């Protein structure tokens, strides 16, 4: 098992452009999470999936953000009409069901909006 993979590792985009990130979780994990982390802060919850169902989405998330997990496998996070405030590290994590199961995180995608 190669862990959680995220692609790309870095993305620089111009303000107003759309970007899409991909996450491949550990294959046995049925829960998948997206978080955003800015410098010096803890990860901030964005959304999570159980299998292919998106069960919760942060109220802080604007309509410019959308996430999918087709067939309960990989997931994509799209940001439309990017703004400078979207610059952050976007982290994906997966886990098994069960109260004591911690997350396995990917290395993240660092987004810079110029």
Partner 1 sequence: AQKITQTQPGMFVQEKEAVTLDCTYDTSDQSYGLFWYKQPSSGEMIFLIYQGSYDEQNATEGRYSLNFQKARKSANLVISASQLGDSAMYFCAMRRNTGGFKTIFGAGTRLFVKA
Q: Give the position of tokens 């978080």.
A: 35
- Residue number, 5 or 76, with CB nearest to partner 1: 5
Of 7, 93, 108, 87, the closest CA to residue 39 belongs to: 87
Q: Which residues contact 24 (CB under 8 A, 6 or more apart)?
A: 4, 5, 6, 7, 73, 74
- Asked if 90 interacts with partner 1 (CB under 8 A), we say no
Binding to partner 1, residues 19-48 (CB under 8 A): 31, 33, 35, 40-45, 48
- Residue number, 84 or 99, with CB nearest to partner 1: 99
- Kindly list the residues in this chain that would bind partner 1 in the complex (CB under 8 A): 31, 33, 35, 40-45, 48, 55-56, 89, 91, 93, 99-108
């Amino acid at each position: 098992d190669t862990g959680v993979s995220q692609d790309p590792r870095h993305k620089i985009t111009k303000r107003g452009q759309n970007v899409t990130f991909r996450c491949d979780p550990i294959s046995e994990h049925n829960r998948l999470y997206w978080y955003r982390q800015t410098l010096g802060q803890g990860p901030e919850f964005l959304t999570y999936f159980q299998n292919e169902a998106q069960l919760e989405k942060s109220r802080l998330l604007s309509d410019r953000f959308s996430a999918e997990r087709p067939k309960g496998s990989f997931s994509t996070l799209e940001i439309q009409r990017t703004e400078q405030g979207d610059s952050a590290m976007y982290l994906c994590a997966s886990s098994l069901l069960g109260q004591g199961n911690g997350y396995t995180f990917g290395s993240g995608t660092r987004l810079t909006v110029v």
